[in-house]
Structure 1
Amino acid sequence: MTSLHSTALPGLPFGVQARALRSSDASAVYEVVRAAEEHDLGEALIEVEDIIGDWQRPSFDLSVDSLGVFDRQGMVGFAEVSQGSRAEADVHPEHRGRGVGTVLVGWTEQRARESGARRIGQSVAARNEGAQSLLRKRGYELLWTSWVLTLGPEDELAGDAATPSGVTVRPYRPGEERAVHRVIEDAFDEWPNRDPTTFEDWASTVLGRPGFAPWHLLVAEADGDIMGACFLGVSGDNVWV
């Protein structure tokens, strides 16, 4: 693939070029992530709506915060840097082992330096040993581990699932957005080295996610105060909490 704005970055294989992503690349990024997740996790978790929602954030600028890598057949891999310190990068499994991942990691580090960030990190699947090895060789250290926990339609809830007395769980109502955002931020502030999410960025990825409906955002209310919140990401027959 060629473009007036494409460039052959040092380290890329012959015939492979890079350029900033465009909004029209959302489906191509989805296909790369889907293939990577199926290879590394055994199933795809990503939805194209997730990508569109992320790209809508006011703090994110596709023209400088993203990089796509292409050959003549299409996208080979991509990278993004959010808030200066949060990287997302994937290489299609069919193109791994060619040095593309090394170039993408180098680009995310350079972008982080340009933004003034003091650190850079990204999530890596436990089975993606190649990516883990690459990052460790560059000095990265494990910060935290996360899991995907599932509950099937036939599974029973463990323990007492009754709503506490005086608490009502219901869909959010317009006008409660900032209160919901504050509850979520307060809850996740306990994570070490976590950068806060502005209301505008949060609203873009939740309220502005394509297909959003009020019942996707549940709140727990008591005595007129919002005590908790839960965002439901609907993906086909699955719901992500």
Structure 2
Amino acid sequence: MQLPAGLTARPLTLEDAEAVHAVVAAEEVVDLGEAELTLEDVVADWQRPSYDVAASTVGVFDGDRLVAYADLSAPDVAYTAVHPDERGRGIGTALAGWVQERARAAGSTRVGTQVPEGSAADRLMADLGYEVRWTAWDLELPEGAEIEARPLPAGYGLRDATEADREAVWTLVEDAFLEWSERERMPLADFGARVWDRPGAEPWNLRLLLHGSGATAELVGATHVFLAGDAAYVARVAVRPDHRGRGLAPAMLVDAFGRAREHGAARCYLSTDTRAGARGLYEKVGMVVSSTWVNRSVTLEP
């Protein structure tokens, strides 16, 4: 990479996760008004068995201080951040070149990332020829607000997941998300790294929706929620296609947010995008858009 004088670069290790989180948090405070990414998010992503941290990352340093980084999380998905104090020096452009070279070497014909709409990263990517593929939103249930209670229809029930449920949950959630997302099925072990092996994970974080009772009960839905500071984040909500349209998702959200508040959450939020078509559902239950993001990508020339 062509870096400004005095800066150096090297692959990162898991021990660098805290420094990476600090750079991303500093960038998010400027772009969003508050930091959203947690250290647990970084560790959960980097601990995936299929992921090689050293081969997939680069850190830019001023002496011993990390000032920017790039991470090819998947062959066509990248994450980057430049500390706000270091913007305007060409570091972001250098990282974009590194990402494209790594993605091309991984066999990808396209690579992209999601950034806050109108941010410095958004403007840079537009200048570099990255096109918008979809728009995404973070939606928040305002502090003190409640989602109207929606009892489950007769025959349905909710409970915490157990270790014996893990493969079935993975199958159901991945089936639901692959209906609209453009990616390969996530391996079970990688899914687990982000869910039940996430740092700080507790049994109440993964809630199952069952239809029927006893030994014949069927898994028909799942919700993954965890705490990020004083906020609860619903990372995944999935309902099996043949059980949709029965008001189950709102009831699952009420349950997830309720459990999170029992564990100290003051705010509740989640993310969705134009591919899923679920924003209207969340707004109907009282959630409001707190930030808007764009997913930009660029075609890689051979």
Q: Does the TM-score normalized on the shorter chain lie above 0.5?
A: yes
CA-CA distance at 1:178 after TM superposition: 0.9
Structure 1 range deviating more: 184-193 or 83-92: 184-193
Contact 1:41 1:127 in 2 (8 A): no
Which residue number corresponds to residue 199 of structure 1?
188
Q: Residues of 2 paired with 1:25 and 1:170: CA distance?
A: 37
Q: Which amino acid letter does the alignment assign opposite residue 111 of structure 2?
A: I
Q: Residues of 2 paired with 1:39 and 1:13: CA distance?
A: 23
Q: Report SS of the residue matched to 2:23.
A: helix
Q: Which has the larger strand fraction?
A: 2
CA-CA distance at 1:16 after TM superposition: 0.5
What's the Cα RMSD here? Answer: 1.4
Which residue number corresponds to residue 167 of structure 2?
178
CA-CA distance at 1:168 after TM superposition: 0.8
Which residue number corresponds to residue 53 of structure 1?
44
Q: Which amino acid letter does the alignment assign opposite residue 145 of structure 1?
A: T
TM-score (norm 1): 0.91
TM-score (norm 2): 0.73
1:147 pairs with one of 131, 137, 149? 137
Q: Residues of 2 paired with 1:119 and 1:59: CA distance?
A: 20
Gaps of 5+ in 1: 1-8
Q: Residues of 1 paired with 2:31 and 2:143: CA distance?
A: 25
Q: Residues of 1 paired with 2:50 and 2:37: CA distance?
A: 21
Which residue number corresponds to residue 38 of structure 1?
29
Q: Would you say how many aligned residue pairs link Structure 1 and Structure 2?
A: 230
1:95 pairs with one of 75, 86, 103? 86
The answer to whether the aligner puts 1:135 opposite 2:125 as a matched pair is yes
The answer to whether the aligner puts 1:110 opposite 2:101 as a matched pair is yes
Q: Which amino acid letter does the alignment assign opposite residue 159 of structure 2?
A: R
CA-CA distance at 1:46 after TM superposition: 1.2
Structure 1 runs of 4+ off > 2 angstroms? 136-139, 190-196
Q: Report SS of the residue matched to 2:17.
A: helix
Higher RCO, 1 vs 2 (CA within 8 Å, ≥6 residues apart): 2
Contact 1:59 1:83 in 2 (8 A): no
Q: Identity of counterpart residues, as a percentage? A: 40
Which residue number corresponds to residue 63 of structure 1?
54
Gaps of 5+ in 2: 235-302
Q: Which amino acid letter does the alignment assign opposite residue 163 of structure 1?
A: L
